Amino acid sequence: MTTTATALKLETADLKVMANRLRGHSILMTTESASGHPTTCMSCAEIVSALFFQSMDWDPADPTASASDVFVLSKGHAAPILYAALKEAGAIDQDLLDLRKIDSPLEGHPTPNLDWVRVASGSLGQGLSAASGMAKVRKMDGHEKRVFCLTGDGEVAEGAVWEAAAFASHYELDNLCAIVDVNGLGQSGVSMFGHDPAVYARRFEAFGWHAIVVDGHDVEALVAAFAEAKATTGKPTVLVARTEKGKGWSEAEGKHGFHGKPIPRGDKLTAALAEIGDADIAATRPSVTPGRRPDGGERVASWTPGYEKGQKEQVATRQAYGQALVELGNVRDDVFVIDGDTKNSTFAEKFAIAHPDRYVEAFIAEQNMIGVALGAATEGKIAFASSFAAFLTRAYDFIRMAAYSRPGALIVCGSHCGVSIGEDGASQMGLEDIAMMRAVYGSTVLYPSDAVSAERCVQAIIRAGGVGYIRTSRPKTAVIYDKNELFPVGGSKTLRSSDADVATLIGAGVTLHESLAAAETLAKDGIAVRVIDLYSVQPIDTATLQKAAAETKRLVVVEDHSPAGGLGEAVAMAVAGKAPIDHLCVKTAPRSGKPDELLDTFGISAAKIVEAVRAGL
């Protein structure tokens, strides 16, 4: 066996031995932790051996993979075999027996707590989308290296896999190679097509892929298949590998009932290891200290919005979002924008027209859209993904998992939020999205109310990094801010205030404008109220809200959102019972109607706000 600084190339005989070493590691790791999935690792041992120690071009000293191939483990429960391969290659120095310990980066399913992991996996069916995003960006940037993604046959039942398959074929991602480990068994029974790799091959071929059916335990055939994949142009390749779950231990091999069950200490463990055999390779493996994967560096961009406070022309925040993307693309070349066939509604089309080489159409496939954006973010891009807020709910698991992947900057924009969209009706009205996004680990949630704040929020949210959410509205609204006003993450804007305020009105988006109109009406009757623009929903401006609670004694929160998880609950948490709260929101199922009718019908119009304030006097 030879080991070099830039590649690992084993002879066929050594690849077979390495596969058994990986099996042995996977068994011992899971036995030590008394949890994990050894049999799903054992089925793909030859695949991982052939890939990591012969076919993949990678540097065990460089987890950034900036000049190397990238590997994505979509079947995340096979994490032990990934860690074993990295250890055998000298890429990590962690003790493999620390698997799943609280202070170890070797987690039960992969996360970027280990530098070699690009995207968190384990929620099945997501890896191919992220890999497609990486491959697409590499194509766009002229990067020569490839992307490999290992999936399981069970997870191929997920519809998102086929969204990714369609995307990769459409964009001719011949730098992408997927491997399906067809071991025939899922968690609770036989997988959908059992041990019939031809079915999977035909399906991928129907989606425009080059498919290779291969014996997943024949390392020589696997190496040849990977070489064929590399030589294939104009389309992605999938290796459909027939394997046996639990391969190497006859008691479990190809049998149901062993999923997620480590081999207990004692005679069974001794027998399993003995059956696998003496898997020793005499070689000196490098000891390395990997560095952190960079997240794209400092994300700073500034420009002055081209709107004037009080101008006659009203502007929708969704329109200003599109213009902000254009301006951002003008000053930074690392911006990546993707949309789900709504670009003429989200106004992402402005970026597509101005910077077509950095725009990608995901079509109506929101799960894959988020996965692709995540893949782009791991390649150092400032990634934006946009659709109707309502349609993002189907992509929520992808957004949730993206947060655990800790991307440098992945910004999701949900437009057409709330009943204010009007006649299109309930199916198009995002009324759950703030709750959804506030619950995402480490997320930033911004909700601009005019064109200036929308553009400034784009500037602010990229600096925050991680997963961010911008909520934009369909109706055109007045420009109420000076173009030089800044909107830092965690802030708010107090637009009306006096010592005589009897209540504080808190809104964002369209309800801020309704609150301002209500304040004008109340002022005519000598009733003074404070008005706060809560544009930063998360993190929230606790100090300003608590000050308002102390000084005005009563808060009226108005939002175009359902009662759960939105502005009302965010404010309630921030003020911690220091003042009573009236919560005006969409409390019953919405319907079609004109925007003004709907705002009034569902109790969030200026007139309803006035009624609420008067009722509390």
Domain of 172, CATH number, reads 3.40.50.970
What's residue 280's pLDDT?
Answer: 54
Contacts 24+ apart (CB under 8 A), 207-211: 207/162, 207/165, 207/166, 207/169, 208/166, 208/169, 208/170, 208/235, 209/165, 209/168, 209/169, 209/178, 209/235, 209/236, 209/237, 209/238, 210/235, 210/236, 210/237, 210/238, 211/237, 211/238, 211/240
Let me know if 366 is a catalytic residue.
yes
The per-residue pLDDT for 490 is 98
The predicted structure's pLDDT at residue 292 = 42
Q: What is the per-residue pLDDT for 279?
A: 55
- Based on the domain organization, do 466 and 349 belong to the same domain? yes
Residue at 286 is within a domain: no
- Catalytic residue selected from 32, 349, 366, 432: 366
Q: What is the pLDDT of residues 397-445, one digit of tens each?
A: 999 999 999 999 999 999 999 999 999 999 999 999 999 999 999 999 9
292 domain residue, yes or no: no
**Chosen domain end from 222, 250, 276:** 276
Length of the chain: 617
Q: In the chain, how many domains are there?
A: 3
* Residue 390 placed within a domain: yes
Characterise 71 by phi-psi region: left (phi > 0), alpha (psi -120 to 50), beta (else). beta
543 vs 525: CA distance, rounded Å: 30
- 599 and 510, same domain (yes or no): yes
Domain boundary among 450, 477, 504: 477
User: Do 502 and 466 belong to one domain?
Assistant: no
Domain that holds residue 52: 2-276
Q: What's the pTM?
A: 0.96
In this structure, the answer to whether residues 420 and 497 fall within a common structural domain is no
What is the pLDDT, as a whole number, of residue 486?
A: 98
pLDDT of the residue at 285 = 44
Question: If 0-12 CB within 10 Å is exposed, 13-18 middle and 19+ buried, where does residue 143 land?
Answer: middle
Mark whether 107 and 247 lie in a shared domain.
yes
The CATH code of the domain that includes 609 is: 3.40.50.920
Is 531 within the bounds of a domain?
Answer: yes
Q: Please list the ranges in the chain whose pLDDT falls under 70.
A: 1-7, 278-297
